[in-house]
Structure 1
Amino acid sequence: MPDFSESLAVTASAMRAQAMRLRLTSENVANADTPGYHRKTTSFRAEVEGGRATGMIETGPVRLDQSPLAVEYDPGHPLADADGNVEGSNVNLLMEVADAREASRSYEANLKMFEQIRSMSSELMNLLRRR
C-alpha cells in the first residue's frame, strides 16, 4: 500500500502546482489593463529529500516578469507622465490563454491518474478481503 499512497502524493503535488499556475494566470488576465502591472510567473522543480528526487513537484517563488511594459500615449489619463505617456502592463492575453489551457489539461491528466490509482487501491483492498 505504500506505493499507492506515494503515487497519490505525487499526483496531488502535480495538481497543486498546476492549480497555482492557473491562479497566477487568472490574476494576470484580471490585471491585463492595470497600469504598471507586471505579469506573475512561477517555476516548477522536483522535490528532493535526502539527496534523492521524491517524484513530487513543488512550485518556486512567484516572480514578476521584467519584460518592458507597454507604453501608450494618453495625455488625458490621470497616470500620464509629463510627455502624456502611460505605462500599461506586460500581460499578453494570448500567452495567458495558452498557459491556462496547458495548466488545465495537465491538472485534468493528473486528476485522472489520481482517480485511477484510487480505484486500483480500492480493487486491491476488495481482493484482499475475499481471501
Structure 2
Amino acid sequence: MTEFSDALSVLSSGMRGQGQRLRHVAENIANVDTPGYRRKTIEFRAEVEGGRRTGAIEAGPVQLSRGILPRIHDPEHPMADAQGYHDGSNVELVTELADAREAQRSYEANLKMFEQVRRMSTQLMDILKR
C-alpha cells in the first residue's frame, strides 16, 4: 500500500505546484498595466529525501523577470520623469495565457492520475476484504 500513498504524494505535489504557478500567472495578468511591475515565475525542483529523489516536486523561490522594462512616454503620468517617460510592465499577456493553459492542463493530468490511483487502491481493498 505504500506504493499507492507514494503515488498520491507525488501527484498531490504536482497539483500544489501547478496551483502556485497559476496564482503567479493570475498576479502577473492582474498587473499587466502596473508601472514598474516585473513578471513573477517559479521553478520546480525534485524533492529529495534521505539523499534520493522521491518523485515529488517542490516550488523554488519566486523569481522576478530580469528583462528590461519598456519605457512609456506619458508626461501626464504621476511616475513620469522630467522627459515624460516612466517604466512599464514586462508582462506579456499572450505568454501568461499560454502559461496558464499549460499549468491548467498539467494540474488536470495530475488530478486524473490521482483519481485513478485512488480508485485502484479502493478496488484492491475490496479484493482483500473478500
Give the structure-1-normalised TM-score: 0.98
Q: How does 1:15-30 map to 2 (within 5 A)?
A: 15-30=15-30
Q: What is the match of residue 122 of structure 1?
A: 122
Report the alpha carbon displacement of residue 122 of structure 1 after superposing the two structures with TM: 0.4
Q: What is the match of residue 43 of structure 1?
A: 43
Q: What is the match of residue 56 of structure 2?
A: 56
Q: How does 1:92-111 map to 2 (within 5 A)?
A: 92-111=92-111
CA distance in 1, matches of 2:51, 2:12: 22
1:48 aligns to what SS in structure 2? strand
Report the alpha carbon displacement of residue 86 of structure 1 after superposing the two structures with TM: 1.5
Q: How does 1:76-91 map to 2 (within 5 A)?
A: 76-91=76-91
Structure 2, unaligned runs of 5 or more: none
Report the alpha carbon displacement of residue 106 of structure 1 after superposing the two structures with TM: 0.2
Q: What is the match of residue 68 of structure 1?
A: 68
Report the alpha carbon displacement of residue 88 of structure 1 after superposing the two structures with TM: 0.7
CA distance in 1, matches of 2:49, 2:129: 35
CA distance in 2, matches of 1:90, 1:80: 17
2:53 aligns to what SS in structure 1? strand
CA distance in 2, matches of 1:115, 1:101: 21
Question: Once the two structures are superposed, what CA deviation does each residue of 1:6-45 show, in whole Å capped at 9, x if it has no partner?
Answer: 0000000000000010000000000000000010011000
User: Which amino acid letter does the alignment assign opposite residue 62 of structure 1?
Assistant: V
2:61 aligns to what SS in structure 1? coil
Q: Which structure 1 residue ranges, 4+ long, deviate > 2 Å from structure 2?
A: none
Structure 1, unaligned runs of 5 or more: none
CA-based RMSD: 0.5
Report the alpha carbon displacement of residue 50 of structure 1 after superposing the two structures with TM: 1.5
CA distance in 1, matches of 2:79, 2:27: 22
